[in-house]
Structure 1
Amino acid sequence: MGSEQQGPGQQGAGEHLLELVDIEAGYGRAALVLRGLTVRVPPASVVCLVGPNGAGKSTVLKVASGMLAPRSGRIVVGGRDVTGRRPQQMLQAGLSHVLQGHSVFKEMSVAENVLLGAYTVKDRSEVAERAAFVRDLFPVVAQRWDSLAGVLSGGQQKQVEFARSLMVSPRVVLLDEPSMGLDPRATNTVFEQVLRMRDAGTAVLLVEQNARHALETADLGCVLDLGRVHVSGPAADLLADPQLGELYLGQRRASGSAPHPTTTTSPREPA
């Protein structure tokens, strides 16, 4: 996958930037939500997690970002085991988490919102370099730089959140339901921006309820069910699978047609 431009600090990496290996996780004393889950994110890729409500998709991102400690398993970022680290340490390791819904500060300007993402960066020239990068990557951010964030549309606010997440030059951006609450046009724009992030050198781990749109955007996909990876592989292959389409994408298989076999492994996503 080509890279049109590269953000500050986005250098080459090994086979995977992020690995969640045999993760078991849950909330409090409740039953496990994730049960032996393994997900891997290669460089310069969009990996999407799809599946029914309650499958554990958002929990995967919470574990990856340090918001929820796994009960067992490993989290590896750029070859380093970071299991058990807190959110701030995960951010420093290269994982930036964009939460569900809108998280802009509406009474602050777009510029102020974006620059908050660099609050840990002490070098002003580095902050300026990163700000120039995200302004170039997201034209609406540059155009509305001095505007109050609260006057922007939902889709524009989401781009501000994307820009803020890139101010720390992350290895991987964790996106949780970026199309939530957006109309179809804004949703299309948001997914276009996801691809721009990938093409600029940042990998994306995407959770999205709109499974079809997510798989059309992603390079690789994982279908989750009951806290496990039910099937994984190239997103285009998952999208074309009639059995998965019937179960998870709302497609109906033609009468009399046989189910298409699915696999639980792929060359880039070993079980």
Structure 2
Amino acid sequence: MASENLLELRDIQAGYGRAALVLRGLTVEVPPGKIVCLVGPNGAGKSTVLKVASGMLVPRSGQILVDGEDVTGRGPQRMLQAGLSHVLQGHSVFREMTVAENVLLGAYTVRDKAVVAERAAHVKELFPVVGERWDSIAGLLSGGQQKQVEFARSLMVAPRVVLLDEPSMGLDPKATATVFEQVVRMRDAGTAVLLVEQNARRALQTADLGCVLDLGRVHISGPASDLLADPQLGELYLGGRPAAGQTG
């Protein structure tokens, strides 16, 4: 049955091994055509949410639904087939391979060469540096450019939702700004995004909706602009209030 949300995590409890639960009844919804960002202190469970959504970690209880279909308990390969593409924290390009080889790896399950060519043309248009450096060795690209290669690779399976874990990690301010611009381009091209980011203010400036996590639960959620404007949330979770005239 179709749903108004592309991705729903309902009342998720999850943890690692026999350790205490990291997620304690967490519910997150990702509507079509939206960027939803998860922010909160270290240890709140942000990256664990993405691991549950992508099938890397099976929840102890709760449901994962994609377009209304229950996909709880499926492994990463089947979650990918369901339309969830996960861009991991840090850099995951194969440095000795070309940009083209890295991107086309994302389509290794696609048998139709015409479809692969069409999607490659799409990502080269969406991320111009990918097209410009198509034949370059990926390890020669800057950190921000490598992240765009990862974005392009994730779109080669035409996902419904891209899960992004700390895309600005290790990047300078200019590269960070470019990466967030590309996140918006992904959304505008029709792919929903679930974003985890330590740079909470910058993430909320980019997102449509925000969820503040604390102790494994959603503390508050709503339009990202409302969360940014809430002075109490700013003090508790967003690193205090920005200086006058400062938005980042």
What interval of TM-score do these two structures reach, taking the shorter chain for normalisation?
over 0.9
Percent of aligned pairs sharing the same letter: 84
Cα drift, residue 14 of structure 1: 4.0
1:34-49 equivalent positions in 2, closer than 5 A = 34-49=23-38
Letter aligned with residue 28 of structure 2:
V
Match of 1:119 in 2: 108
Q: 2:166 matched to 1:177?
A: yes
Q: Which amino acid aligns with 2:223?
A: P
**Take 2:140 and 2:241, find their aligned partners in 1: how far apart are those partners?**
41
Query: What per-residue deviation string (whole Å, max 9, x for no partner) do you get for residues 134-193 of structure 1?
Result: 001000000000000000000000000000000000000000000000000000000000
Question: Which amino acid in structure 1 is aligned with residue 15 of structure 2?
Answer: G
* Structure 1 residue 230: Cα displacement: 0.2
Specify the code of the residue in structure 2 equivalent to 1:186: A
Matching of residues 62-81 of structure 1 within 5 Å = 62-81=51-70
Alignment pair present for 1:234 and 2:232: no
2:43 to 54, 61, 77: 54
CA–CA distance in structure 1, aligned partners of residues 224 and 201 of structure 2: 10
- Cα distance in 1 between the residues matched to 2:226 and 2:67: 27
Task: Find out whether 1:247 has 2:236 as its counterpart.
Answer: yes
1:67 partner amino acid: M
Q: How many residues align?
A: 242
Q: Distance between the aligned counterparts of 2:108 and 2:189, measured in 1?
A: 22
* Partner Cα separation in structure 2 for residue 249 and residue 77 of structure 1: 30
Is 1:103 equivalent to 2:92 in the alignment?
yes
Q: CA deviation at 1:70?
A: 0.1
Report the 3-state secondary structure (helix = DSSP H, G, I; strand = E; otherwise coil) of the residue aligned with 2:211: strand
Given candidates 98, 107, 120, the residue that maps to 1:131 is 120
2:189 to 173, 195, 200: 200
Structure 2 Cα separation of the partners of residues 84 and 66 of structure 1:
7
Structure 1's consecutive aligned runs of 4 or more residues displaced over 2 angstroms after TM superposition are none
Question: How many angstroms does 1:251 deviate by?
Answer: 1.5
Equivalent position SS for 1:76: strand
Segments of structure 1 that go 5 or more residues without pairing to the other structure are 1-12, 254-271
Could you report, residue by residue, the CA deviation over 1:191-227 in whole angstroms, capped at 9, with x for unpaired residues?
0000000000000000000000000000000000000
Task: Name the structure 1 match of 2:212.
Answer: 223
Structure-2 residue corresponding to 1:143? 132
Q: Structure 1-normalised TM-score?
A: 0.88
Aligned partner of residue 159 in structure 2, secondary structure? coil
Among 199, 219, 224, the alignment partner of 1:210 is: 199
Structure 1 residue 79, shift from structure 2 partner: 1.2
Q: Distance in 1 between matches of 2:235 and 2:98?
A: 45
What is aligned with 2:9? 20
Matched, 1:188 2:177: yes
The superposition leaves residues 49-68 of structure 1 with CA deviations (integer Å, 9 ceiling, x where unpaired) of 00000000000000000000
Q: Which residue of 2 aligns with 1:6?
A: none
Distance 2:85 2:102 in 1: 15
Compute the displacement of 1:75 (Å): 0.1
Q: Distance in 1 between matches of 2:5 and 2:27?
A: 13
Aligned equivalents of 1:201, 1:249: Cα separation in 2: 29
Q: Distance in 1 between matches of 2:239 and 2:110?
A: 45
